[in-house]
Amino acid sequence: MSSERPFPPGDYDVVVVGSGPGGLQTGYSLGRLGVDHAVLSADDAPGGMFRRFPLFERLISWTHLAADVPRESREFEAHDQNSLLAEEPELRALVTGQMADERRRPAREEMEAGLRAFAERARVRVRYGCPWESTRREGDRFVLGTPDGEYRCRAAVFAVGMTEPWVPAVPGLELEHHYVHVETSGDRYRNRRVVIVGKRNSAFEVGEGILRHGLRELTLVSPRPPDLGRLARSPLRPWYLTAYDEHVRGAPGRYVLDASLERVERGAGGYRVHLLDPTREDPLVLDADDVIAATGFRAPLGDLPELGVATVLDGRLPALTPLWESIGAPGVFFAGNVTQAAQGLRKHGVASVSGMVCGFRYNARILARHLAETIAGKQRAQEVLDAERVVPYLLRELDRAPELSIQKGYLARVLRAARGGMVDEGILPLEVFVDGEEDGVAATLEFDATETIRPVVYSRHRGELHELALPPHPLRRYDGLVYGEALEDLLAPLLGRR
Amino acid sequence: MDTHAVAERLAQLTLFADLRWPELEAVAHAFDEEVFAEGQRVLRQGITGGAFYVVLDGEASVVVDGVERTRFGRGEFFGEISTLTGDVPSADVRAETLLRCLVVPGPELEAFLLSHPAVMLRVLQAEARRLRDSNRWH
């Protein structure tokens, strides 16, 4: 890397804040599209959260080294959820080069090395050591204050992660109890009674991590029951669930409770944790040597709420449009795992995977294109598909497109109706098509009410929207006759065939 | 809004009037709050996979075949009919202001109502009133 720091203060079309996977993917994609931009980061090196987390365990996203497609291919993205996206084949799948063995999920430091390799080899320029400190509006510009000076831009993209420790407002539960302060080595928790507040990934991760060090008692507690259906199918199952398994089988000193935390009292040499279980009249009281709040993180939104950025989930995430623009502050965009706040159609309650690199890398690429078109005024070449190519093209996308198989129900291949065929609009959030006006078709993969994966195709003809759920396939291959015929039938009016 | 504030908000709504505080907190904690921009669609006529929404703040309109039929405000709810019958929603629901809702995903509604019979009774009362007033709708 050159010693000259890039992106001095000044005027840019777009300013990106952050150098984790979201910031790197956005910076890379804006660069490829030739958009005038700057990338700023408070850190001194790329990697974001992966420079420190997860504390104990490997990532929960897979990289299958032995996949049967070339690592440089687009199809490999479905086998490799952790590498950032590149147009150049030699810059793809860079996390694979960091993995020491055939274990399917990278360790934290392998992920960090993969991101660093991407930043270096793709020459993603970032002004490191330049924290964003303040934001204000000035006419049609945003002004971002940093110690180096002011950055003016027409659109600002915040890829700041979920990095601020968050604890709920419970008397006695403090930031000092947060997951980030857990000690990962040695005998810190040996022979101790530990209460972990929370029952999501980080709670089970810490529980598993410290169980290895001779814990006397472990209790996990939060109001929401663990989502067992989801956990049973999740990559957490084999690694994190010892505590739950032992609770279910009645092991003394292992408890997983559904109760709300009333207060935490500090006493001589320990804590008293007061719980309220809505199904019982009498309160529950636990004595503990340590309390760990595995209660998650919030996006460090700084002064953005003063600009009108509306938030959800206890103010932890910004409320977003389908294209990741702030609800309440147009021109303010988000990238990275904060994009999980855009929920999409959320059919049957299924959320996007925008909280994971595999999902938000696509969001960032789509956002960069959206900014290139709307802010930088760059038109992209649009491919027109002849009528007879439309159905085979859509089937191939349903069969192979990694965007669709990863961001189920959130991203879709969208074609717009045109004379003599259809125009490829690219991969877009499904909601953009469904709630739009234009005639066309959007093909996606979704979980149905029984959590079976099936292709679903939405078409709009003369303003009328149709939804067609196609049958599932046991090997998830959607190129057979049944799919072709159903699509031909659905699209006949759009393709001028009747 | 933090979970505590959501629970306090729920306590003021008729639907949840019979729940005790820990139950309110559990409800606020168990289900997500979703925010919609003015003009954004919440439910879509003819599209499967909906959910049950309780309005915490703001106003939503119910639009059938492009014609506005009614509006929902704070404390009112929608989406339960398609969720419970398995039919597709018969109307669009659109945010008319910045709209905050508590969302119970479709697959979880039945279990939620069965575990909170007092809420189920309030839903039933509201449905009975809607049925009684249905001549205003059609």
How many angstroms separate the CA of residue B132 from the nearest CA in chain A? Answer: 30
Name the residue facing B106 among A169, A222, A348 (closest C-beta): A348
Please give the residue of chain A at the shortest CA–CA distance from B105. Answer: A349
Is A312 in Cβ contact with B35 (below 8 Å)? yes
Query: Considering the domain A10-163+298-374 in this protein, what is its CATH number?
Result: 3.50.50.60
Name the residue facing B35 among A224, A327, A346 (closest C-beta): A327
Residue of A222, A347, A460 to mutate for B, most B C-beta atoms under 10 A: A347
Query: Considering the domain B32-136 in this protein, what is its CATH number?
Result: 2.60.120.10
Q: Does A228 touch chain B (CB under 8 A)?
A: no
Is A327 in Cβ contact with B36 (below 8 Å)? yes
Query: How many A-B residue pairs are in contact by the CB < 8 A criterion?
Result: 93
Is A319 in Cβ contact with B32 (below 8 Å)? no
Residues in chain B within 8 Å Cβ distance of A277 = 22
The mean per-residue pLDDT over the stretch B57-84 comes to 93
Q: A355: how many CB neighbours lie within 10 A of its CB?
A: 17
Q: Does A168 touch chain B (CB under 8 A)?
A: yes
The span from the CA of A333 to the CA of A16, in Å, is 9
Nearest to A339 by CA among A362, A310, A307: A362
Peptide bond preceding A330 in cis form (omega within 30 of 0): no
Domain ranges of chain A: 10-163+298-374, 175-295, 384-491
Return all residues near B130 (Cβ < 8 A) that are at least 6 apart. Answer: none
pLDDT tens string A219-267: 999 887 776 666 665 555 555 677 788 888 888 888 999 888 889 999 8
Please give the residue of chain B at the shortest CA–CA distance from A261. Answer: B22
Is B41 in Cβ contact with A435 (below 8 Å)? yes
Surface-to-core class of residue A48, CB atoms within 10 Å of its CB (0-12 exposed, 13-18 middle, 19+ buried): buried
The secondary structure of residue B15, as a DSSP letter, is G
Is A449 in Cβ contact with B41 (below 8 Å)? no
Question: For residue A232, what are its two tokens?
Answer: 């049973």
What is the structure's pLDDT at A3?
Answer: 60
How many angstroms separate the CA of residue B20 from the nearest CA in chain A? Answer: 8
Is B29 in Cβ contact with A276 (below 8 Å)? no
What is the structure's pLDDT at A1?
Answer: 47
Q: What is the ipTM of this complex?
A: 0.88
The secondary structure of residue B13, as a DSSP letter, is S
Give the B-side interface with A, CB within 8 Å.
1-4, 20-23, 25-26, 29-30, 32-37, 40-41, 44, 46-51, 98, 103, 105-108
The mean per-residue pLDDT over the stretch B81-95 comes to 92
> What string of H, E and C letters represents the secondary structure of chain A?
CCCCCCCCCEEEEEEEECCCHHHHHHHHHHHHCCCCEEEECCCCCCCHHHHCCCCCCCCCCCECCCCCCCCCCCHHHHCECCCCCCCCHHHCCCCHHHCCCCCCCCCHHHHHHHHHHHHHHCCCCCECCCCCCEEEEECCEEEEEECCEEEEEEEEEECCCCCEECCCCCCCCCHHHEHHHCCCCCCCCCCCEEEEECCCHHHHHHHHHHHCCCCCEEEEEECCCCCHHHHHHCCCHHHHCHHHHHHHCCCCCEEEEECEEEEEEEECCEEEEEEECCCCCCCEEEEECEEEECCCEECCCCCHHHHCCCEECCCCEECECCCCEECCCCCEEECHHHHHHCCCCCHHHCCCCCCCHHHHHHHHHHHHHHHHHHCCCCCCCCCEEEHHHHHHHHHHHHHHCHHHHHCCCCEEEEEEEECCEEEEEEEEEHHHHHCCCCCEEEEEEEECCCCCEEEEEEEEECCEEEEEECCCCCCCCCCCHHHHHHHHHHHCCCCCCC
Is the Cβ–Cβ distance between A460 and A466 less than 8 Å?
Answer: yes
Is B25 in Cβ contact with A313 (below 8 Å)? no
Is B30 in Cβ contact with A224 (below 8 Å)? yes
Name the residue facing B4 among A169, A321, A448 (closest C-beta): A169
Name the residue facing B49 among A319, A327, A347 (closest C-beta): A347
Return all residues near A141 (Cβ < 8 A) that are at least 6 apart. Answer: A11, A152, A153, A154
Residues in chain B within 8 Å Cβ distance of A327 = 35-37, 40, 98
Instruction: Tell me whether domains A10-163+298-374 and A175-295 share a fold.
Output: yes
What is the structure's pLDDT at A237?
Answer: 56
Please give the residue of chain A at the shortest CA–CA distance from B31. Answer: A224
Biggest alpha carbon–alpha carbon distance for chain B: 42
Name the residue facing A348 among B22, B41, B107 (closest C-beta): B107
Question: For residue A295, what are its two tokens?
Answer: 């209660």
pLDDT at B135 over 70: no
Question: For residue A134, what are its two tokens?
Answer: 């303040």
Is A168 in Cβ contact with B3 (below 8 Å)? yes
Question: For residue A444, what are its two tokens?
Answer: 């996606």
Is B32 in Cβ contact with A310 (below 8 Å)? no
Domain ranges of chain B: 32-136
Which residues of chain A are modeled with pLDDT < 50? 1-2
Domain A175-295 in CATH 1.10.10.10: no
Nearest to A326 by CA among A130, A142, A168: A142
* Chain centre to alpha carbon of residue A494: 34
The span from the CA of A459 to the CA of A440, in Å, is 6
